[in-house]
Structure 1
């Protein structure tokens, strides 16, 4: 009886040990989850918010040579649309840019992102100081799901949904070019 009970315990322990779920190595699409709860106020002492007086969303025609750049800075004469954000809108933008990231429970090596080789940015987020100078920017190509940020601007991970959330946000603010209009 003792031998039978011992064997039964060994078999049971083996079954329990091998039936533990293993982390999946299956590919996961790069969907976003909310991982933080930062606000504009909480970021006021971090770059670029420590230098930012206002935030603008802009659209521009793609220039295949330099985009809206001129002498290393964005050329505002190339802007088609420009909207200055209110504080509430700034918090919504911060929420999208900083609080949504890859799911921390998913192995980073198994994440699959969609991106195209093209890069024809038509939209940007501009962080401006009290002299109306651009201190930082985020250039976005919604069509190709790619972006470029100015040096030192750390926005978290660009998971797949971040582009669609940003695109919706630009539309809610009133920017059309680069979202629904391309020419």
Structure 2
């Protein structure tokens, strides 16, 4: 019984250390952050042609550019919203028990420093609880996946495809199928 209590106490201590370390990292990144943008966009798999929206220089993202026809929402957080996001991330229990195998991201949150240069970004798929983040923001990936309600409060309205988008995508797939058939029937 003493062994079980000792193991539980050690686990609780490690959890506290881990939570404190995460709070320190969150405070550090938010001290460097002057601006945060949140983008909502059509699922990348449904884009025609070019799928990249990151502009790189020497391996670093220097700009983000979305084709207007795929962008659904874009907001720039004010100071009060940035503080609210930070507080929410600090208090979020970021344990994710299951993730789907798919990855159809529709959101991107971009952190900028005081010189208006990109510190990093996190791409999110709220549908399957998968994400991708730059190395310096990896520690925020899971916590950010629990922020959908806060994104809604901030003004993001796009989380799933509209009926029209689904119909357009079905038509696009059918056209591609017909083109494929024509190409190989010749």
Q: Structure 1 length normalisation: TM-score? A: 0.59
CA RMSD of aligned residues (A): 3.6
Q: Is the 8 A contact 1:53 1:130 kept in 2?
A: yes
Structure 1 residues 118-137: aligned runs within 5 Å: 118-137=102-121
Q: Structure 2 length normalisation: TM-score? A: 0.58
Q: Structure 1 residue 158: deviation in Å?
A: 2.3
- 2:85 aligned to which of 88, 93, 98: 93
Structure 1 residues 65-104: aligned runs within 5 Å: 66=51, 68-71=53-56, 73=61, 75-78=64-67, 79-101=71-93
Superposed CA offset, 1:108-145 (max 9, x none): xxxx7121011111101111134433221111000111
Higher RCO (CA-CA < 8 Å; seq separation 6+): 1
Structure 1 runs of 4+ aligned residues shifted over 6 Å read 20-24
Residues 97, 67 of structure 1: CA spacing in aligned structure 2 closer, same or farther, 3 A cutoff? farther
Superposed CA offset, 1:50-104 (max 9, x none): 442211111122323855334463632334321111222112211232332358x
The whole-number CA distance in structure 2 between the counterparts of 1:60 and 1:131 is 26
Larger of the two Rg values belongs to structure: 1
User: Where is the helix percentage greater, Structure 1 or Structure 2?
Assistant: 2
Gaps of 5+ in 1: 1-16, 25-34, 104-111
Gaps of 5+ in 2: 9-18, 166-186
